């Protein structure tokens, strides 16, 4: 029986000087061909926020990202305990909207 060929490893470069962006808010919208995620910073008692980064993905890449994020959060909770979300916080911060979709 022949063994399947090993999958090639993708080499990812992390540029020197790359600065992380902090976001505590995300808005997700979609079109038929893209999923758009805007990451923003929202401050308490300030009625507006500022988008820090916009990420566009194909729907299949967004679904793969969702799977990877769920897997990582499950491992995080296994190590550190369950992440509890205060009642109503998800609805307040992560409601769908926008003219492109959900």
Number of domains the chain is built from? 1
Residue 5, domain member (yes or no): no
User: What confidence score (pLDDT) does residue 99 get?
Assistant: 45
Q: Provide the domain limits for residue 59.
A: 25-83
Question: Which pLDDT value is given to residue 100?
Answer: 45
CA dist 39 and 29 (Å) reads 12
> pLDDT tens, 78-98?
999 999 988 776 566 655 544
Structural contact between residues 57 and 38, judged by C-beta atoms closer than 8 angstroms: no
Domain annotation covers residue 6 = no
Q: Is residue 38 part of a domain?
A: yes
Tell whether the model's pLDDT for residue 14 goes beyond 80.
yes
Q: Whole-angstrom Cα distance, residue 12 to residue 100?
A: 31
Tokens 């995300």 belong to which residue? Answer: 26
Q: What is the mean pLDDT of residues 71-84?
A: 97
């Amino acid at each position: 029986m022949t063994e399947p060929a090993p999958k090639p490893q993708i080499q990812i470069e992390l540029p020197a000087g790359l600065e992380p962006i902090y976001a505590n808010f995300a808005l997700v919208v979609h079109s038929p061909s893209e999923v758009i995620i805007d990451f923003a910073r929202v401050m308490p008692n300030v009625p507006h926020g500022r988008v820090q980064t916009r990420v566009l993905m194909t729907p299949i890449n967004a679904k793969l990202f969702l799977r990877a994020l769920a897997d990582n959060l499950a491992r995080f909770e296994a190590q550190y305990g369950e992440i509890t979300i205060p009642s109503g916080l998800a609805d307040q911060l992560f409601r769908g909207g926008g003219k492109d979709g959900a």
